[in-house]
A and B are shown apart, each in its own frame.
Chain A
Amino acid sequence: DAGVTQSPTHLIKTRGQQVTLRCSPKSGHDTVSWYQQALGQGPQFIFQYYEEEERQRGNFPDRFSGHQFPNYSSELNVNALLLGDSALYLCASSLPGGDGYTFGSGTRLTVV
């Protein structure tokens, strides 16, 4: 049974560019959350999607946006990239009434 799958694993972008990261949740999970983990820090909550709608949002600017598709997979989009956006981006899936999150291995984004 596949866990959470994220793509790509690594990405290098130039400041000002736009990036799209992708996530396929664990089989049976319908809720997807995105977290940003800077080097040496704990993950920070970006937003959560359920039933194709953003349900919760953390303290991130509007440059960060997302989408959830009918098959529960999700995308994270970041516009106008800044050097400070360099981080590991983690996707976590869960059931709406469940207590456990399953995390993917993340996408490491480097902005140069």
Chain B
Amino acid sequence: QKEVEQDPGPLSVPEGAIVSLNCTYSNSAFQYFMWYRQYSRKGPELLMYTYSSGNKEDGRFTAQVDKSSKYISLFIRDSQPSDSATYLCAIRRQGGSEKLVFGKGTKLTVNP
């Protein structure tokens, strides 16, 4: 069983739609959860970072963590064509510089 599972999509939505991206993980030792956005031919860029169950909001983005179900989500409201990218969930056991374990990524296209 992989440590983190993410549906690779692809996912195509119209502009203005609400997007839901999800990952599951297998080990309750993971305590820190991140979402990265990766544009084509670029490195991943940190979008959201959280270490507790519940919701964390930043503008149009909301990260949700359910540790009891080992399930993490990213919601994008009022999606824009500029949100078209691959979204990667990443988890790690400890804070600081502990290594990241990434999902496969979900490729999102927002159509004008």
Contacts and interface: CB of A to CB of B under 8 A. Distances in A.
A31 B95 CA distance: 14
Contact of B43 (A45, A95, A97, A105): A105
B8 A44 contact: no
Interface in A71-112: 90, 92, 94-106, 108
Q: B-side binding surface: helix, strand, loop or mixed?
A: loop
Contacts of B43: 4, 90, 92, 103-106
A98 B49 CA distance: 12
A68 interface: no
Contacts, number: 64
Interface of A: 4, 31, 33, 35, 40-45, 48, 50, 55-56, 58, 90, 92, 94-106, 108
Contacts of B102: 35, 42-44
A43 B97 contact: no
Given A42-B88, A43-B44, A105-B42, A99 B100 contact: no
B100 A96 contact: no
B46 interface: yes
Contacts of A100: 46, 49
Query: 9 smallest A-B Cβ distances: which pairs?
Result: A42-B102, A103-B43, A45-B99, A105-B43, A31-B97, A103-B44, A42-B104, A43-B102, A94-B97
A96 B90 CA distance: 18
Given A42-B88, A97-B97, A105-B42, 5 more contacts: A94-B97, A95-B97, A98-B97, A99-B32, A104-B43
Contacts of A43: 44, 88, 100, 102
A4 B45 CA distance: 12
Given A100-B46, A101-B46, A105-B43, A40 B8 contact: yes
Interface string B54-95: 000000000000000000000000000000000010100001
